[in-house]
């Protein structure tokens, strides 16, 4: 009763409210079991706009074209992406990291000339990892690609020292403790994190700080500052107090590595899996790779111009992301706003979260439920699929918070697939393959492990 009175007060006119036998908790449990299935079911029962209380969080869910348009158009000081992200990730991530992390940094690290320069790093790091694979074997796709991408990340966001044997494994071990991925799917893990006061996570940050401090010491002693992001970040956060420099440097390195890993490795994994599920798609990519090689030479994947010409690979990544997206788009209302959902303009008070779930909208028609890279032309979606509004499908987001790393991610996909297909043949996955419905946030892993057999085509 009280909860309903409260919700009525928060949003006017009163939207449909999801009822559950157990106030707060009942809907929360159903939501945490499978956010995608739960919200899809609630949409069937309550329509395109409704309010649900998930463990006390008031989620105002929107799925209508007008509601989605308003969601992506909302101004940061009215409905905040930053505060919503803080609340969502703050369960797991030690708060000091948020206090030092600077979102503008991503835009500096992803300037076009830097993005073009990273392809050399991608190419080198991917080649190094693939050289370690045997002449034949099996890979657990999501785990293998995740580790590969972490190693690429250590090179790109730090420097050569972080990729050395013995060092990258130590970084990986501590970064894995901080991983957000399981925070929502495993209530037990979340409970451990909360009851321990994030003890393991804080210890992992301390260990990463020590490792980063070791690199700083070595570079300072040798006065050896190569032109990489470690040097860039060191100078950006340098202050009179070496402890403050080290803290800010480490926290921003952690943030960069986590942002880098959050969607991309699963998107790369799906791109590979989809090649094996749809042989015609693999043939088209192989043909594009052969053309690109003929035009730009053997090591075309280290050239931005060559990568820009690979439009079919872009279609593959976009389609793979569209189908496996499990991101929740979340904004926290900071001051009273008017919010247009098409049928009503709602007055929403601070504290409510406005949200949509990409997995509920991205595959909502029979045509959209079908995998077809020709749903895109390069990175552009076929306009016939979004006649009701561009916001009705999302891969890299819309509006002011749309992903700044889209081109960067396409580069990584092109470099990885070019080398994988040049060096290896892969078998097809066994059985049905579908994205996990339990995952919330980011491009999902598959609902079960996907193991692919491989055979090396030629020795390096």
Q: Which residues of the chain form contacts with ligand HEM (CB under 6 A)? A: 81, 103, 106, 259-260, 263-264, 267, 321, 327, 329, 394-397, 401-405, 408-409, 443
Closer Cβ to ligand HEM, 7 or 352, answer by number: 352
Q: C-beta of 121: minimal distance to ligand HEM in Å?
A: 13
Q: C-beta of 82: minimal distance to ligand HEM in Å?
A: 7
Q: C-beta of 165: minimal distance to ligand HEM in Å?
A: 25
Q: C-beta of 122: minimal distance to ligand HEM in Å?
A: 11
Question: Tokens in use for 358?
Answer: 């990409």
Place of tokens 């919200």: 39
Closer Cβ to ligand HEM, 114 or 219, answer by number: 114
Q: C-beta of 192: minimal distance to ligand HEM in Å?
A: 27
Q: What is the DSSP string of 9-51?
A: HHEESPPPB---SSTTHHHHHHHHH-HHHHHHHHHHHH-SEEE
Asked if 38 and 30 touch (Cβ cutoff 8 Å), the reply is: yes
For residue 249, CA distances in Å to 111, 177, 228, 257, 260 come to 19, 19, 14, 12, 16
Pairing status of strand 57-62 against strand 353-357: parallel
Closer Cβ to ligand HEM, 245 or 269, answer by number: 269
Asked if 27 and 53 touch (Cβ cutoff 8 Å), the reply is: yes
Q: C-beta of 103: minimal distance to ligand HEM in Å?
A: 6
Alpha helix (H) residue ranges in 238-331: 242-277, 279-296, 304-308, 311-324
Q: C-beta of 45: minimal distance to ligand HEM in Å?
A: 25
Q: How many CB atoms lie within 10 A of CB 139?
A: 19
Closer Cβ to ligand HEM, 34 or 395, answer by number: 395
Contacts of 130 (CB under 8 A, 6+ apart): 419, 420, 423, 424
Closer Cβ to ligand HEM, 292 or 320, answer by number: 320
Closer Cβ to ligand HEM, 104 or 165, answer by number: 104
Closer Cβ to ligand HEM, 274 or 329, answer by number: 329
How far apart CA 434 and CA 423 sit, in angstroms, is 27
């Amino acid at each position: 009763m009280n909860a309903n009175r409260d919700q009525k007060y928060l949003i006017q006119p009163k939207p449909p409210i999801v009822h559950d036998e157990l106030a707060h908790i009942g809907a929360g449990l159903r939501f945490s079991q499978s956010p995608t299935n739960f919200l899809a079911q609630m949409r069937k029962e309550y329509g395109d706009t409704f309010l649900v209380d998930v463990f006390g969080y008031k989620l105002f869910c929107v799925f209508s074209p007008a509601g989605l348009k308003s969601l992506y158009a909302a101004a940061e000081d009215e409905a905040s992406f930053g505060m919503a992200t803080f609340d969502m990730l703050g369960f797991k991530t030690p708060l000091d990291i948020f206090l030092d992390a600077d979102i503008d940094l991503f835009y500096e690290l992803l300037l076009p000339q830097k993005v073009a320069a990273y392809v050399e790093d991608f190419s080198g790091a991917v080649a190094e990892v693939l050289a370690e694979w045997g002449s034949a074997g099996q890979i657990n796709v999501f785990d293998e690609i995740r580790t590969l991408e972490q190693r690429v990340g250590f090179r790109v966001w730090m420097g050569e020292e972080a990729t050395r044997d013995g060092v990258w494994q130590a970084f990986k071990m501590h970064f894995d403790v901080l991983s957000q991925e399981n925070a929502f799917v495993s209530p037990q893990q979340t409970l451990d994190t909360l009851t321990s006061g994030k003890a393991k996570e804080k210890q992992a940050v301390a260990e990463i700080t020590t490792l980063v401090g070791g690199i700083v010491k070595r570079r300072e002693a040798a006065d050896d500052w190569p032109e990489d992001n470690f040097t860039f970040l060191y100078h950006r956060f340098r202050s009179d107090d070496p402890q403050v420099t080290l803290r800010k440097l480490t926290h921003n390195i952690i943030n960069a590595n986590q942002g880098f890993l959050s969607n991309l490795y699963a998107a790369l994994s799906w791109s590979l899996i989809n090649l094996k599920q749809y042989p015609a798609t693999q043939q088209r990519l192989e043909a594009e790779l052969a053309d690109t090689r003929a035009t730009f030479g053997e090591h075309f994947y280290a050239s931005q111009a060559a990568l820009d010409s690979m439009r079919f690979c872009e279609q593959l990544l976009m389609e793979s992301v569209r189908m496996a997206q499990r991101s929740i788009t979340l904004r926290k209302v900071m001051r009273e706003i008017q919010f247009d959902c098409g049928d009503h303009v709602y007055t929403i008070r601070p504290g409510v979260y406005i949200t949509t779930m990409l997995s509920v909208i991205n595959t909502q028609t029979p045509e959209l439920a079908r995998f077809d890279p020709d749903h895109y032309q390069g990175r552009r979606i076929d306009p016939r699929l979004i006649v009701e509004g561009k916001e009705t499908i999302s891969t890299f987001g819309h509006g002011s918070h749309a992903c700044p790393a889209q081109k960067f991610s396409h580069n990584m996909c092109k470099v990885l697939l070019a080398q994988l297909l040049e060096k290896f043949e892969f078998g097809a996955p066994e059985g049905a393959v579908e994205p996990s419905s339990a995952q919330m946030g980011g491009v999902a892993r598959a609902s079960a492990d996907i193991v692919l057999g491989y055979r090396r085509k030629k020795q390096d």
